[in-house]
Amino acid sequence: MIDIHCHILPGLDDGAFSIDDSLMMAQSAFENGTRGIICTPHSGPYSYGTLVNAFRELKKEITARRIPIALYLGQEVYLTENYVRQIRDVENGYPVTINKTPYTLVEFVPTAHTRILSDAVSRLRAGGLIPIIAHPERYAAIAEDVFLAGKLKAAGALLQINKGSLKGFFGMDAMRTAAYLLDHYLADFVASDAHSPYGRSPSLRNVHAFISEQYSIDYADHLMLVNPAKVAANRAIHSYGH
């Protein structure tokens, strides 16, 4: 499996606090079947150089410890009411897209208005980027109007569900919305959104088993292996079953 949303880089955001945390996360991910991780710290006040240094350091330590996990660099780009300027920043190279592809992991404030979600997706697409919306089930606008998820997909966005949402970690609304997205094959990815070796851990094993049981192994693979591999390799993604 490949985890496309993981706060494993040390010392940049509210994710891994130290390189030891990062290595524990990598080891635990590996032991639970993960073979690739897209490192996605929140876009923040740190510089591009700081981001790249943290990535290189983790890569070096993982190689030294012989943990066979491929790492890819990305960020979770936070889009606020200043999203027009923030999207322009991504187009200009920083914050970064995933592995230098057009795929870009984006998140919004939980109360973001429908108009902002829709307009941001159109602008990202117009700028040649492919938005992957992190945890759509956690946005009130989508929980209140699930058809919005289909509209955002029709406008060219991809949807990434958090594994924790399926277990109710983010509340009943998020759990119900995540189930709806899975039921209707609107989800493109399930990722850990792990922030530490504990609590919100990087293991995808249980959620893969859960989706295999509730839907099919093929669907679980599509969400956690096939599509993530396409992102890393910059290949096109099609809706499940198409």
Residues that bind Fe ion (CB under 5 A): 76, 193
CB of 189 to Fe ion, least distance (A): 13
Q: Where are the alpha helices (DSSP H) in the chain?
A: 19-31, 48-64, 83-91, 114-126, 140-144, 147-154, 172-183, 205-214, 217-221, 227-232
Quick one: 14 or 213, whose CB is closer to Fe ion? 14
Quick one: 36 or 41, whose CB is closer to Fe ion? 41
Quick one: 3 or 193, whose CB is closer to Fe ion? 193
Quick one: 123 or 163, whose CB is closer to Fe ion? 163
* Planar angle of CA 136, 96, 59, nearest 5 degrees: 100
CB of 152 to Fe ion, least distance (A): 18
What is the spatial distance between Cα 35 and Cα 1, in angstroms, rounded to a whole number?
6
CB of 7 to Fe ion, least distance (A): 6
Is there a contact between 182 and 161 (Cβ–Cβ < 8 Å)? yes
- Which backbone phi and psi does 136 adopt, to 5 degrees? -60, -30
Quick one: 188 or 193, whose CB is closer to Fe ion? 193
What is the spatial distance between Cα 12 and Cα 5, in angstroms, rounded to a whole number?
15
